[in-house]
Chain A
Amino acid sequence: MIEVKHLSKKFPDGQPLSDICFRLDKGEIAAILGPSGCGKSTLLRCLNLLTNPTGGEILLDGKNILDRRASVTEIRRKIGMVFQSYQLYPQYTVLENVMQPQRHVLHLDRQKAYDTSVRLLGEVNLLLKKDAYPTELSGGQKQRVAFARTLAMNPDVLLLDEPTSALDPAAVVEIRYILKKLAAQGKTILLVTHDMGFARSAATRVLFLHDGKVCEDKPTEQFFRAPETEHARHFLAQDEALELTVSDSRFDFLDAISSIQRFAGNRGLNDRMAGRLISAFEESVMITLLPRIKDTGAIRVRFAMQEGAQVSMAVSYGGNACDPLSGMEQSSLHILRHQTDEITYTEKKNDPERNQLRMLFSL
């Protein structure tokens, strides 16, 4: 059980946390959400005392850990943290990475440390890699080793900084499974993430941070369905859709592709769907509309999730009324019809962006 009261943190050049209050019980998984730079990571570091808070209280099982008499080392043992960059020890093998902290910090004998390590590496599915060095592992594997290493210290509270940022979809599912199991064992878990899909599916609570305060503190579904504050609604809406603007021929196509891929990844859409979106974007915007950009002016493209497991792609542009579907090359049209489930063109006479092309993709 962890409780935070009026926690604040000031730096010489700003104040990321001004008044943070929340309380988490055993078995809860809380996701800390909020726009970039809202102090999410600072909050995690404060909870672990890697950064000293300026004011407020942090109660762990009723005891204030910011008390001067409290042993910092003792507290850090109870609050485990998995870093975004994993920070595995490069000089140790996977097994040693999990074993040595137990030997150094908990002073366990080799046999006990070994048994625990093997059990945990088995749980994160890495037993076969136990004699590898970290440099020989993929990002997801490193993350799981970092997980096992932190769990080996048997912490009561687990802090995760961007746990899914380097993981492929299968690994994300695996991490979610591990987290739920840990929560069921009575651990309190706090995670910071940009991945709304992951937060929605893994967390039981959401703490939405804005302006250094906990702006909303709600059960996960309630937060995503009916955000109360304007800030939260804006934040979610921003995340709902992806907007791209093509304003001239020097447009960065590769950057657009990675944005689309990220959009798809964040919503748990599979690679095939991401491929369909990219292909539709390429045929309609890059091949058909971009050569006419002098007539049309800036082209706006908006990808969004729709009800009924559908993704929509809306392309709007100005200039004379012009239906791209009729003027398009046959091969492009063929591909476009093949990738989309529905494609329509409408002309809005009094709109500055009078041409509207809308595509729908079913999952």
Chain B
Amino acid sequence: MKRIVIALLCLTLMLLLTACAGKSGKVQQTVLREQMDEFITVSIADGSIDEVVETWRGDEAKTRILSYEDLSSENGKLTLGTAINPPFSIYENGHYGGVSIEIVYRFCKAHGYGLEIVGYSDINALVMAVSAEKCDIGATTLTITEERKKSVDYSISYTNNPFIVRVRKGDEGLYSSLDDFSGKTVGVLAGSILPTVVAEYMPDSIQMEYNTLTDILYALSQGKTDVGVTNIVLPGDLLSAFPDLTESVAIPYDNPFGMIYPKADKRSSLKSVLYRTFVENDRWEIFVDGILTTIEVSILSILFGTLLGFAVYYVILRRPKKVSKAILNAVLWLIRCTPAVLFLLIFYYIVFGKSGLGGTAICIAAFTVIFAATFLGCFTSAMSTVDPGQDEVSLALGYTPRQSFFRILLPQACLNLWPNYQNAVISHIKATSIVGYVAVVDVTKASDMIRSNTYDALVPLISAAIFYFAVIWCMTFLVRLIKVRTEPSERSRKRHLKGVNQHD
């Protein structure tokens, strides 16, 4: 048995080694870069890039298939990293496509390279993957910026895709220049160059970061933001899905797109990384704001959720009627079976869709409901551990039903409640890390934002983790303090005799 395990381990190790070796022994980066720059220059000159852009904006985008499996790999195989961002990077019919992908595809065809495509969740993940040499080349809507140049190397620009402000139809008369947007809420794409550009050209506007283009347009259409900023070139079908939106002022920024490669020389000291993460551009402020938001959302939702859960128990489950109990159970199942992210999005876009309520308030509402459901589960099981005879004996002694519940049953249930409650609190605090989905900046989102600016993953992620650790430790400490007050074994046996003359 032991030998088989060892043999299997050796085999895995060998496979890993070959895989690594295969990767390192691939296309020469210096050659690749020269060839690519030359290819781009030629393609711009002969107009083939404009042709590619037009192809992917039109109806043909839906059916066009790049058969990169058929490429000959005579000069080696390129690993191309991308992040979906139509029309520059598309995944349709089981194939990657889009403007940037097709340029690389044409390049490979011209120079005899094979192509393997790996998809990443967003641009930052892609930049970090390329920076960590997981890909030979990265292509999507990648703006060439000085900040990113610290992490990756760029090709020359193959096209520009400037930004434009979009507004709801009927509002276009309100804005004639970029100065008119001061004090307005602006939807921007999280993790892109947009927040920086908008901060520069529309300095007094309030930014709301969304994770996808669709979310920006949807939020704008619903009135969650006053305006939204996107690229001028967007997929045609996306724009036709929002006929109530129209273009307003353009931002005078070129937004040049390029391919990225792993940095040739990318050593940077911890000190400079720390400096870039926290001090440069006062990024610590984002982090502190995020910390406050996380604390606000988690503590308020735990507080309200506990109260709500308790109220529901007291009103419905203390003396359960069949119908009300069945309805409650159905609602609870619905809440428990919905992933927290979905639940939050439903609250944000549907329940409070046009309420004008702030994102943080909606998050607190959604998490209050989620925690109330969890709490109700914990509390019901804690109450079921109390002998029903305890209620009867209290009633027999002359307690009113309410007195019996609060004075006798509740303290006993609490003894069995704390362990579960503590766990629920811990999971809940961690679960709040998804509020970034609805443009609320909490610690996780703050670390994402810093990460997307500095392209260093280590410091922001570890800082966020340390913060969660600290907050959760504080909360469990708090719960423990309450627990000590209720546990008989943890308190004095004579505390009830304060001020009593014991005659001895």
Residues of A within 8 A of B (CB): 48, 50, 73-74, 76-77, 79-81, 83, 85, 87, 89-93, 95-96, 99-101, 104-106, 110-111, 114, 131, 133, 149-150, 153
A136 to chain B, nearest CB (A): 11
Complex CA–CA separation, A132 to B70 (angstroms): 84
Q: Is the CB of A131 within 8 A of B493?
A: yes
For A114, give its contact among B395, B415, B493, B500 (CB under 8 Å): B500
> Contacts of A50 on B, CB cut-off 8 Å?
392, 395-396
> Contacts of B396 on A, CB cut-off 8 Å?
48, 50, 76, 79-81, 83
For B501, give its contact among A77, A92, A95, A111 (CB under 8 Å): A111
Answer yes or no: B5 CB below 8 A from chain A CBs: no
Number of interface residues of B (CB under 8 A): 29
Answer yes or no: B321 CB below 8 A from chain A CBs: no
Q: Which of B301-309, B405-413, B438-446 contacts A (4 or more CB under 8 A)?
A: B405-413
8 closest A-B pairs by CB: A77-B398, A87-B393, A105-B398, A81-B396, A87-B389, A131-B493, A114-B500, A101-B397
> Contacts of B494 on A, CB cut-off 8 Å?
131
**Interface class of chain B by DSSP:** helix
Complex CA–CA separation, A111 to B498 (angstroms): 10
* Interface of chain B residues 344 through 391 with chain A (CB within 8 A): 387, 389-390
> Contacts of A74 on B, CB cut-off 8 Å?
398
> Contacts of A92 on B, CB cut-off 8 Å?
488
Q: Is the CB of A133 within 8 A of B488?
A: yes
> Contacts of A131 on B, CB cut-off 8 Å?
493-494
Q: A91-B412, A91-B488 are in contact. Are A99 and B496 (CB under 8 A)?
A: yes
Answer yes or no: B272 CB below 8 A from chain A CBs: no
Answer yes or no: B22 CB below 8 A from chain A CBs: no
Q: Is the CB of A110 within 8 A of B499?
A: yes
A291 to chain B, nearest CB (A): 48
Complex CA–CA separation, A48 to B395 (angstroms): 9
Q: Is the CB of A87 within 8 A of B387?
A: yes
Answer yes or no: B497 CB below 8 A from chain A CBs: yes
A247 to chain B, nearest CB (A): 40
Q: Is the CB of A76 within 8 A of B393?
A: no
Most interface-central of B400, B493, B502 (chain A CB within 10 A) = B493
> Contacts of B496 on A, CB cut-off 8 Å?
93, 95-96, 99-100, 110
Answer yes or no: B403 CB below 8 A from chain A CBs: yes
> Contacts of B493 on A, CB cut-off 8 Å?
93, 131, 133
Q: Is the CB of B395 within 8 A of A105?
A: no
> Contacts of A77 on B, CB cut-off 8 Å?
397-398
B204 to chain A, nearest CB (A): 60
B471 to chain A, nearest CB (A): 31
Q: Is the CB of B397 within 8 A of A105?
A: yes
Q: Is the CB of A153 within 8 A of B389?
A: no
Complex CA–CA separation, A188 to B365 (angstroms): 58
Q: Is the CB of B397 within 8 A of A76?
A: yes
B293 to chain A, nearest CB (A): 39
Additional 12 contacts, C-beta under 8 A, given A73-B400, A101-B398? A50-B392, A73-B399, A74-B398, A76-B397, A80-B396, A80-B397, A83-B396, A87-B390, A110-B499, A111-B499, A114-B502, A153-B398
> Contacts of B500 on A, CB cut-off 8 Å?
110-111, 114
Complex CA–CA separation, A99 to B500 (angstroms): 12
Complex CA–CA separation, A33 to B264 (angstroms): 98
Q: Is the CB of B412 within 8 A of A104?
A: no
> Contacts of A133 on B, CB cut-off 8 Å?
488, 493
Q: Is the CB of B407 within 8 A of A104?
A: yes
Complex CA–CA separation, A267 to B414 (angstroms): 45
Most interface-central of A83, A87, A149 (chain B CB within 10 A) = A87
Q: Which residue of chain A has its CB nearest to the CB of B491?
A: A91
Q: A100-B496, A104-B403, A114-B497 are in contact. Are A83 and B392 (CB under 8 A)?
A: yes
Complex CA–CA separation, A124 to B500 (angstroms): 22
Q: A114-B497, A131-B493 are in contact. Are A149 and B397 (CB under 8 A)?
A: yes
> Contacts of B411 on A, CB cut-off 8 Å?
91
Q: Mark B467-504, 1 if CB is under 8 A from A, else 0.
A: 00000000000000000001010000110111111100
Complex CA–CA separation, A89 to B400 (angstroms): 16
Complex CA–CA separation, A235 to B392 (angstroms): 31
Q: Which residue of chain A has its CB nearest to the CB of B399?
A: A105
B407 to chain A, nearest CB (A): 6
A252 to chain B, nearest CB (A): 31
Complex CA–CA separation, A170 to B500 (angstroms): 34
> Contacts of B415 on A, CB cut-off 8 Å?
91
> Contacts of B488 on A, CB cut-off 8 Å?
90-93, 133
Q: Which residue of chain A has its CB nearest to the CB of B501?
A: A111
Q: Is the CB of B397 within 8 A of A90?
A: no
Q: Which residue of chain B has its CB nearest to the CB of A72?
A: B395
Complex CA–CA separation, A101 to B397 (angstroms): 7
Q: Which residue of chain B has its CB nearest to the CB of A44?
A: B396
A-B contact pairs, 14 of them (CB 8 A): A50-B396, A73-B400, A74-B398, A81-B393, A81-B396, A87-B387, A87-B389, A90-B488, A93-B496, A95-B496, A99-B496, A110-B496, A111-B499, A131-B494
> Contacts of B407 on A, CB cut-off 8 Å?
100, 104
A80 to chain B, nearest CB (A): 7
> Contacts of A101 on B, CB cut-off 8 Å?
394, 397-399
Q: Is the CB of B389 within 8 A of A83?
A: yes
> Contacts of B399 on A, CB cut-off 8 Å?
73, 101, 104-105
A118 to chain B, nearest CB (A): 8
A95 to chain B, nearest CB (A): 7
